[in-house]
Amino acid sequence: AQSVTQLGSHVSVSEGALVLLRCNYSSSVPPYLFWYVQYPNQGLQLLLKYTTGATLVKGINGFEAEFKKSETSFHLTKPSAHMSDAAEYFCAVSHTGGGNKLTFGTGTQLKVEL
Amino acid sequence: GAVVSQHPSRVICKSGTSVKIECRSLDFQATTMFWYRQFPKQSLMLMATSNEGSKATYEQGVEKDKFLINHASLTLSTLTVTSAHPEDSSFYICSARDPGQGKTQYFGPGTRLLVL
């Protein structure tokens, strides 16, 4: 079984400030981890993914995430927030043998203020 | 990234009618597609896995006779909500797995269904 916990359903930052969105996972086998972003009334866009190899992964729009097995975490960061980053962010996990099924966290709404 | 489209983007129908939603992978062939449902301000819930040329695999609690899935080609999967009722109103999102991209799923833009 696998699960994802996203701490903080709402996060608010100032423009230019660091963005940190938290994600912890539970998986009995090595996980594949993903971050997706969703803008209002739209589908999900892949930000970045971790499958194997380097634990620090870089994605689009300046986002990056680090896979920390010891902490079972995959937190999403961006050094400097932009107004256009305001959206809903979902962390998701899947694994080999799981039929590529994604299990999503409950999402974090990011608000960026002037 | 890969492109997945959905049609229609919005649909309003009367209670008791059936609605078909199409999901297409535009620049890759997808042997596997997924259908999700998302309620307002909530996460995505997997409804079923659509496999080309075979029957869909439904998640627990999802009525397969209510939500008919057909994956007739490598680029098209359809979801038909049969005899829709107001409680079926939701945002339906499909995704497709690009074999060339390993475990990555690419999502369509979603379909907003409103049943009156």
Please give the helix or strand (H or E) that residue B97 lies within, else none. strand B90-97
Q: What is the pLDDT of residues B49-104, one digit of tens each?
A: 998 888 899 999 999 999 999 998 999 999 999 999 999 999 999 999 887 776 67
Contact across the interface for A44 and B44, Cβ inside 8 Å:
yes
A34, A43, A94 ranked by CB distance to B109: nearest: A43
With vertex at residue A47, the alpha carbon angle to CA B8 and CA B62, rounded to the nearest 5 degrees, is: 45
Whether the upstream peptide bond of residue B8 has omega within 30° of 0, thus cis, is yes
Q: Is the pLDDT of residue B47 over 90?
A: yes
pLDDT value at residue A97: 56
B42, B43, B49 ranked by CB distance to A101: nearest: B49
> Please, are residues B10 and B111 in contact by the beta-carbon 8 Å criterion?
yes
- Tell me the residues of chain A between 55 and 84 that have a Cβ less than 8 Å away from chain B: none
Q: What is the pLDDT of residues A50-63, one digit of tens each?
A: 988 899 999 999 99
Between CA B92 and CA B99 the distance in angstroms is 23
Between CA A65 and CA A22 the distance in angstroms is 10
Find chain A residues with C-beta within 8 A of B6's C-beta: 43
pLDDT value at residue B79: 97
